[in-house]
Homo-oligomer: A and B are copies of this chain.
Amino acid sequence: MKNNVGLFLTKRAHLNPDLEGFIDVASGRRITFAEWNAGANRAAALLRARGVAKGDRVALLMLNCPEFAECFFGLAKIGAVVVPLNIRLVADELAYILNDSGATVLIYGEEFAAAVADLEARGAAGTRVKHWIHVAAPDGGAPRADFADDYDELRAEASDAEPAVGAEEDDLLYIMYTSGTTGLPKGVVHTHNSAIWACITITTTSEMRYRDRYLLMLPAYHVGALTPLTGNVYRAVTSVVMRSFDPLRAWELIDQEKITVALAVPAMLVFMDQVPDTDRFDTSQLRWIMSGGAPVPVTMIEAFAKRGIEVHEVYGLTEVCGPACLINPEDALTHAGSTGKAFFHTEVRVVDEDGNDVPPDTPGEVVVSGKHVMKEYWNQPEATAEALRDGWLHTGDVAVADAEGFVYIRDRTKDMIISGGENIYPAEIENVILSHPKVRDVAVIGQPSDKWGEVPLAVVVPADDTLAADDVMGHCVGKLARFKLPKAVEFIDEVPRNPTGKILKRLLRDRFPGPAAD
C-alpha cells in the first residue's frame, strides 16, 4: 500500500472494522474503525467538493472531537495539508498562523465561533481563508454564522467511498505551529513519511500492545496527542479521548473504560495525584502512563508506583513528530529521573557548542536524528538551517547522558540559570520543592543579580496556607548544592502553563523581574 497516513485508517478499518477506534467522552459516541474511516472519507469528499486539492492547507480549530479525527485522516488521504490550531490562541494569533500557512479553509468548533466571527468580520484578517465550516458541539446550539457552512450538513451529503489517494510518503502531511513560548510561532512541517516513522518507532520501542485502550488527555493540535492518535490507528489501539483534561474524570475513565495505557504531561500527574479517595477506582488494567513535555518529578514516578502504575518518562518534540527518548519499563524505577535512551529508529547525542559529543555526565545540547525528524520550518529557511545541521535536529534542550547511555533532561537552554558561572537547571530545583508535602505546584526562574549574574527564584503554589517561605528554603538545604538554593520564594495562586503543561516562564519573568536582593 502507499505510504500515506490516511491509509492507516483505511487499512485498520479493513483489518478491525468493528473494534472501537475513537471514544468521544464528551458526547458518549463510540466510533468503530469502520465508522471512523467512513467519516474520514466523507470529510475528504466534502473538502474535495469545495476545491481542496493536493498541497492545499486546511486549518482545524477544534477540541478533541471525532470531527477533528475524521478530518485529519480524510485530508491526509487526499494529500491536503492539515494545519492544527492551538485552541488557546486569540484572533490575532490565529490570523498570524492562517496567514503564514496560507490556509484556504478553516474548520472550527462551535466553541471558537466568536474568535472566528471576529476574523471573518475583518475580511478574513488578510488571510486566504475562503471557506469557513462550523462544527456543532455535542451540547451546543449556538447559532451558526451566515458565512459558514455546517459540517454535519455537508458530511451527510458526501460519499463515504474511499477517495483517490492524493499523497505519498514525501508529500506534506501537516504544519504544526510550535507553542511559541518565545517569539513568533514557527510552522513545523511533517511529511507522511516522518509521521509514519514516528508511529513505527513508537510501536517498536514502547510497551504498547495490540488492542490496548489508550486514554488521550492532551489536545490533538499538539504532537503529544496527534502522534498517539495516529499511532493508535496503526496499532489497533482504542483511543479514549477527553476534550479537555480533568483529573477526577481521568480516574473515572481509567476505571470505566478499562484503560490500559495513557499519556500525560507531568503537571497532569501532579493534579491526578492530588485527587482524593482514588482507592474507589479500579485501575488494575492500567499498566503505564507515559509522561513527558517537561522533566517528570521523581516523586510522581514513586507516587504512581505505589498505586501499581508505571510512569515511563518520554522525551519528545514537535520537530521530531514526538519520539526522541523513552525509558524501558524495567528501568523506570531504577533510573527514575532519566528519560531512558533514544527510540529504536532514532539517534540522540549530547553535544557541545561545536557539535562534538560531550563526555558522559557532562551537560550539553540534545541533538536528534531519524526518519521522523521534520522536513523544515514552513517558509523559514534560516530557522530551518539553524535547527537542522548535518542531519541533526538541534533541540535547544540541555541534558546529560551517563556512561550507559541513560539521558537525563535538565531543562531548556533558554530556561537555564547561570549563577556565578555555574549552570543551574530550574527543573532540578522544582523537583526538590515539589517533594514538600505542602507544595502544590512550583516554577523556578532566574532573577538578575549584581553579584551572581542570576539567582534562582522559586514561585510556589502552596497546598495550604501554613506554608512559609522558610519551609521551602529549608526543605532544599541538603538536597541541593548551595549555589542552587533558591534565594527567595514568592507565592502565587497558579503556575501559568500552556495547554500541554509547559510552564510559561516568560510570564513569570515579567511578573517577578527582580533584581534579586543579594
A residues in contact (CB < 8 Å) with B = 1, 11, 14-17, 200, 203-207, 209-211, 234-235, 328-329, 341, 344-347, 369-370, 404-405
Contact = CB atoms under 8 A, between A and B. Distances in A.
A306 to B, nearest CB: 23
Contacts of A209: 207, 209
B346 A14 contact: no
A1 B204 contact: no
Given A1-B370, A203-B204, A209-B207, A234 B14 contact: no
A201 to B, nearest CB: 10
A17 to B, nearest CB: 8
What number of copies of this chain does the assembly contain?
A: 2
A328 B15 contact: yes
A341 B14 contact: yes
27 contacts: A1-B345, A1-B346, A1-B347, A1-B369, A1-B370, A11-B344, A14-B341, A14-B405, A15-B205, A15-B328, A15-B341, A15-B344, A16-B328, A17-B404, A200-B200, A200-B204, A203-B203, A203-B204, A204-B234, A204-B235, A206-B210, A207-B209, A207-B210, A207-B211, A209-B209, A210-B329, A234-B344
A341 B17 CA distance: 12
Contacts of A346: 1
A216 B100 CA distance: 55
A33 to B, nearest CB: 12
Given A1-B370, A15-B344, A207-B211, 9 more contacts: A1-B347, A15-B205, A15-B341, A204-B234, A204-B235, A207-B209, A207-B210, A210-B329, A234-B344
A200 B235 CA distance: 11
A295 to B, nearest CB: 21
Leading 9 A-B pairs by shortest Cβ distance: A207-B210, A1-B347, A209-B209, A200-B200, A203-B204, A15-B341, A203-B203, A11-B344, A14-B405
A236 to B, nearest CB: 8
A311 B329 CA distance: 29
Nearest to A344: B11
A370 B345 CA distance: 20
A203 B199 CA distance: 12
A151 to B, nearest CB: 30
Contacts of A234: 204, 344
A200 B404 CA distance: 27
A84 B341 CA distance: 34
A346 B2 CA distance: 9
A404 B16 CA distance: 11
A287 to B, nearest CB: 11
